[in-house]
Structure 1
Amino acid sequence: MKKILSITSLVLLVIVSGCSKFLDKKPISSVSPTNYYNNEAEVNAAVAGVYSIAAMEFMWGGRIPIRHNASTDESFYSVTNQPIGPWWFTYDASDVTVTEMWTYLYSGIERANVVLANIGKAKMDDTKKAVLIGELKFLRAFYYFTLVQYWGDVPLKTTPSSSVNNVDLARTPMKDVYTFIEKEMKEAEAAVDVVTAIGNTERISRSTVQGILARVYLQWAGEPLKATAKYEDARQYALKVVQSNVHELNPSYSQIYINECQDIDEWKECIWETGNWGNNSDANRIGGRIGNENGVKCSSSNDQVVGYAYGFNSTTYKLFNLYKAGDLRRDWAISTYTLNATGVKANIAANNIYARNCAKWRREFELLRPLNKNYTPTNFPILRYADVLLMLAEAENEVNGPANAYQYINMVRRRGYGKPAGTPDVTADLTGLDQTSFRKAVQDERAMELCFEGLRKQDLIRWGLYLTAMRDQALEIKARATATYQYAATAAERVSERHLLYPIPSNEMSLNKLMVQNPGW
């Protein structure tokens, strides 16, 4: 996060309590809010610490898209020597990956709470201060949104921890947490800068807030709350992004991801990205795992040629075959080759579908040298304009039917076929669908456009399709895959209703006496 974190994201780490629990007991430094937050530089450093959570390898810089969302109808976790974890559905409340996610989300919330409680005393321009408050409120709300998606009811904490003994906090009903998220994001919308004033993809802009709020409303409208009136809110907020007239689709689908590998800000399409940077050997250590764990499989041993990649995420037969002839996205999103130790390509056999990895972020496009075996400078797109268009198409269809929704989905499809997004195209365009068939078309389009971007699991859950999709995937793998990949069917068969939510981490259950575990755990 070179434009934000290089200020020094480490500063906040010595102000806020450690992150072994979101109501942790022991500060790791004598620095405290009473002798900090005096000026703009100190406030900016503290805000950078709140941003830094999103870019971590444990969050959107790695594990959220790569591990927490590995097992859906579009992908499976293609590693057999890591048999325990969410990707295998062989986890429990003590699982390290689940615990890390919970811990870091609440760490980000606590950091935001501390800065919001102390920013008022800083001697700095009031306009700049108001913008930072908006960014902090949005980030705190976004972290809460992620918590309710994965855990349901969660403790809602909006003030800094004041006592080492006050660690008991009951879960707040999901609906109330959503209400808080809505309020905070609307306040942020009025406060943050427009993207044209910011000029990069890493800072929260008004478009970021509006696009993510549309995502919040769609999740709220679906399972489990089924607040269907929120479809209209989703429509309105996605429409705000479109009607701002500052965003557009990159004419080249592949260039989106090449830009992210090469640290090129392209905010017209990529509205919000993680700010990963460097080879993780510098002082800031803000490299991530994008392209390393989920890139084209590569056994490189030369840090000057091409970076090593594990290929942990592989395609399903279903995703591969959703793409129709002429759709250029398939052979960019899904690998057609692997790379050996010297960077030489070896093509994958045409009928070997399950051997194909996620290929959106390819280490061969990284410019930084030397390359790190396990870390990349590659940004991850938390929100793209294509996602906003598809959310708008979905919400418009739910509210008014498909008549006015075609324009949005067809823009995305045209780009996928290499055509100008604003020009009708007989090959790419959808027509003649009723509301039900258009809904299915949007669901399929989101898979083709947004695959491997950490959205599919929650999409399937809110549509009420996750359990069915995983059962179908198990049957499909059994019927179509060779013996080499039958383990993926075994994993999919383990999915049950309890997997719609994660368990509350066991250390939280032991320390927080008011905490209640999720059903089935």
Structure 2
Amino acid sequence: MKKIYILLISIIIFSSCSNDFLDTSPYDSIASGNMWNSESKADQGVAGIYQALKARTISDSYKIFDGLGFVNSYGSHGPADNEVMVYLNGNITPSHGLFSDTWKQHYEGIHRANDAIANLHKANLPAQKYERLMCEAKFLRAYFYYRLNALFKGVPVYTEPTPSESLTKGQSSVDDVYQLCINDLTDCINNEHFPNNTLDKSVYGRASKGAAYALRGMVYMWKKDFPKAASDLSKVKDCGYGLWTGEWSQFFKVENEKDKEMIFPLQYDETSGFSSDIQKYIGGRSHYDGWTEAMPSVDYVNMFLNADGSAFIWNDRLPGWDNLTVAQREVFFLRDGLSATSSDNNIKTAYNEAVKRLGSSVMTTYYRETGNEARIKAAFENRDPRLQKSVFTPYSTAICYSPYWNGGNEQELTLRWPLLNNVAPYWDMWSDKRKTAFYMYRKYNETRKGRYINRDRCTVDLPLIRFTDVTLLLAEAYNENNELGKSITTFNTIRTRNGVSMPALTEGGSGPNAVTGKDDMKKRIQYERRAELALEGVNYFDELRWKTLKESKYDGGSNTAGRKSWWGSVEAEYRWRGDHFMTWPAPTAETQMNPNIKQTPGWSY
């Protein structure tokens, strides 16, 4: 293992203007041996474990792990984006930083937690506080090991402070790593001084007994111990957490981030260095000058059901769709008014270029100079409401702001193709990538002036665990345990809530919402998790756990998978290199420095 043991623990001084558990000042460092000799230093040391959650490969889950899921990742700016593309196009090797950084940064959190667990007794804390901080440290250690194990399928286990020269263990088995997680979380759950929840804003963001039940339930899901998973996941509600009851899309706003829905968040504020940059990666140039690196994939958009629960089929909405090649389907997405005789040279040029790409016969047969926009826009209406609340679909509009455009003033813009200009008379909404038409995320994307200072200073908290995730896992656990009725009842609390209002499923009967059995219910749960949890760093882990990564993201391994335009043309191919992709390789640097770290089968070192 790389010699990454941290002998210095960061002291974190809390901002006087915030009641949240969020460090907003620079680090100082002192030797670990002196770290735990007072209550204030113990507080700061435990806060240092939480800070490890903000390492790039953890806090940037929406760029990395969702990027390996339902995202058209572009990969032209920052290293996180390029990591996604190198993975997706199959060119990644065990020496890549995606693997080594993830390994290193998770172990940094583990070593900080081990230091706290071994030394908190030195601080002479009141008994109740000592027990609470010990539980927080154990919860966080379990969280780091849980994520490592899900990715690497067996890692070295360290449970006490270890000098760098003694970090020579080989990988423990998957079951042994998960058992460590279970043991730590069981200690948290059984401790009378560990609070049920941290909904009190003075301690918001800390681990809690409800979070421990949720995480232990997740571990049992990976172990396929569904009775124990269901038992744990059902107890989260008893700890005081529950579903967001407001309009669905409003949960993802700063104003509502401290709701009972939020079980364990990553916290951010606008202070430089303590904010996130999600806006930069999902926003467009019309949205705070974003880079549009992470875009909703076409497969993600197309999977959204109709509002009555039936499957969406393009040819039902656009007769003739099935008669055209993928490239020719662009004709349905063209903006109104294109004409070879237009007095507007931009319009005339756009028309002539479309004819060159698609052919005059296709344009004559399928293009409508008036009504083309309304026709394609209608294909995205009467769908699962989360589609248009999560994604800017073609010809949707928004009031937009960018500091470098329109004199710093807001303007209503429309997402059109071909893009002409983001000023009068066109007022097109611009992404950063404009060589073809890509979807953009609306979820977590702010478009109005004053919501953020800039694209790098995003303040909305991002959930690591939230109640909807837990509820859908509970429905899955019931289903896998052959309790179909309980699964459907639990599932329907998500499906029918405010802002979603999809039809409830029924056990038996007929129609699109009638569940025919266990396998059918499993597919419905998978759909719901994909529709619900985008950009939350969950989907990729789900696909690994279900063993559906090849099927859902690589089109079964064919050459039709990739970053696609609205109509499905592949702009960059994704390549499936084999089932070993579902287990991350032990990083090359670790195998070179520690002979007890075994190379992962299937990967070329």
Q: Pick from 305, 309, 324: which aligns with 1:323?
A: 305
Mean CA deviation greater in 401-410 or 199-208: 199-208
Could you tell me how far apart the structure 2 residues matched to 1:46 and 1:232 are? Answer: 37
Q: Does 1:181 align with 2:168?
A: no
Deviation at 1:206? Answer: 1.5
**Once the 2 structures are TM-superposed, how far is the Cα of residue 310 of structure 1 from its aligned partner?**
1.9
The answer (yes or no) to whether the contact 1:68–1:86 under 8 Å persists in 2 is no
Alignment of 1:122-141 (within 5 A): 122-141=123-142
Q: 1:271 aligns with which of 248, 252, 263?
A: 263
Larger Rg: 2
Contact 1:312 1:357 in 2 (8 A): no
User: Structure 2 matches for 1:93-108, cutoff 5 A?
Assistant: 93-108=94-109
- State the number of aligned residues: 473
Picking from 248, 272, 283, the partner of 1:296 is 283
Q: How does 1:79-478 map to 2 (within 5 A)?
A: 79=75, 82=82, 85-162=86-163, 164-191=164-191, 192-195=194-197, 198-199=200-201, 201-221=204-224, 230-244=225-239, 246-259=241-254, 262=255, 264-280=256-272, 285-293=273-281, 295-299=282-286, 307-321=288-302, 322-325=304-307, 326=382, 327-336=384-393, 341-342=405-406, 344-349=411-416, 355-364=438-447, 370-371=453-454, 373-415=455-497, 417-419=499-501, 430-472=513-555, 477=561
Q: 1:329 to 1:484 in 2, by over 3 A?
A: closer
Which residue identity lines up with residue 207 of structure 1 in the other structure? G
Unaligned runs of 5+ in 2: 1-13, 308-381, 420-435
Normalised by the size of structure 1, how large is the TM-score?
0.82
Aligned with 2:570 (options 475, 479, 486) = 486
Please give the secondary structure, in 1, of the residue aligned with 2:413.
strand
2-side partners of 1:432 and 1:417: how far apart? 23
Write the distance in 1 (CA, Å) between the matches of 2:143 and 2:205. Answer: 15
Secondary structure of 2:110's match? Answer: helix
Q: Is residue 195–residue 267 contact of structure 1 (8 Å, CA) maintained in 2?
A: no
Deviates more, 1:496-505 or 1:466-475: 466-475
Q: Within 1, Cα distance between the matches of 2:567 and 2:306?
A: 27
Identify if the C-alpha distance between structure 1 residues 486 and 362 changes in structure 2 by more than 3 Å, giving closer, same or farther: same
Paired with 2:437 and 2:227, the residues of 1 have a C-alpha distance of 39
CA distance in 1, matches of 2:71, 2:158: 35
Q: CA deviation at 1:183?
A: 0.7
The secondary structure found in structure 2 opposite 1:292 is helix
Asked whether the equivalents of residues 274 and 381 of structure 1 are also in contact (C-alpha less than 8 Å), the reply is: yes
Q: Is the 8 A contact 1:292 1:308 kept in 2?
A: yes
Secondary structure in 2 matching 1:502: coil
Matching residue of 2:425:
none
Distance 1:215 1:354, change over 3 A: farther
Q: What is the CA–CA distance in structure 2 between the aligned matches of 1:95 and 1:213, rounded to whole Å? A: 31
Q: Judge conservation of contact 2:214–2:233 (CA < 8 Å) in 1.
A: yes
Give the Cα separation in 1 of the matches to 2:563 and 2:160: 53
Check whether the contact 1:39–1:122 (CA below 8 A) recurs between aligned residues.
yes
CA distance in 2, matches of 1:48, 1:480: 42
CA contact (8 A) 1:406 1:430 kept: no
- 1:141 deviates by 0.6
* Separation in 2, partners of 1:366, 1:97: 35
Q: Secondary structure at the match of 1:361?
A: coil
Between stretches 428-437 and 140-149, larger displacement belongs to: 428-437
CA contact 2:152–2:583 (8 Å) conserved in 1: yes
Shift of 1:104: 0.8
Aligned in 2, Cα 1:197/1:77: closer, same or farther, shift over 3 Å?
Answer: closer
The 1:241–1:366 alpha-carbon spacing in structure 2 relative to 1, beyond 3 Å, is farther
Offset at 1:315? Answer: 2.0
Q: CA deviation at 1:49?
A: 0.6
Q: Is the 8 A contact 2:199 2:258 kept in 1?
A: no
Q: 1:4 aligns with which of 21, 32, 42?
A: 21
**Residues 41 and 91 of structure 1, relative CA distance in 2, 3 Å threshold:** same
Identity rate, percent: 20
* 1:347 maps to amino acid: T
One-letter code of the match for 2:555?
D
Q: In structure 2, the residue corresponding to 1:291 is in which secondary structure?
A: helix
Q: Within 2, Cα distance between the matches of 1:276 and 1:127?
A: 28
User: What does the per-residue CA deviation read over 1:8-66, in whole Å, with 9 as the maximum and x for residues that have no partner?
Assistant: 6724xx2xxxxxxxxxxxxxxxx32332211221011011110011133x03322x221
* Aligned CA distance change for structure 1 residues 370 and 357 (closer, same or farther; 3 Å): closer
Q: Counterparts of 1:156 and 1:501 in 2: how far apart (Å)?
A: 18
Q: In structure 1, how many angstroms separate the alpha carbons of the residues matched to 2:546 and 2:417? A: 33
Shift of 1:495: 4.0
The change in CA–CA distance for 1:157 and 1:9 in structure 2 (over 3 A counts) is farther
Partner deviation per Cα, 1:323-351 (whole Å, 9 max, x = no partner):
32353211121123685634545322499
CA distance 1:433–1:279, change in 2 (3 Å): farther
Partner SS for 1:363: coil
Stretch of structure 1 that moved more, 496-505 or 389-398: 496-505
**TM-score, normalised via structure 2 length:** 0.71
Are the counterparts in 1 of residues 283 and 440 from structure 2 also a CA contact under 8 Å?
yes
Per-residue displacement from partner, 1:144-200 (whole Å, max 9, x unpaired)? 0110111111000111123x4323221111110011111111111233212256446
- Name the CA shift for 1:350/1:369 in 2 (closer, same or farther; >3 Å): closer
Distance 1:275 1:361, change over 3 A: same
Cα drift, residue 250 of structure 1: 3.0
* Equivalent position amino acid for 2:587 in 1: P
After TM superposition, give the deviation of residue 359 of structure 1 in Å. Answer: 2.3
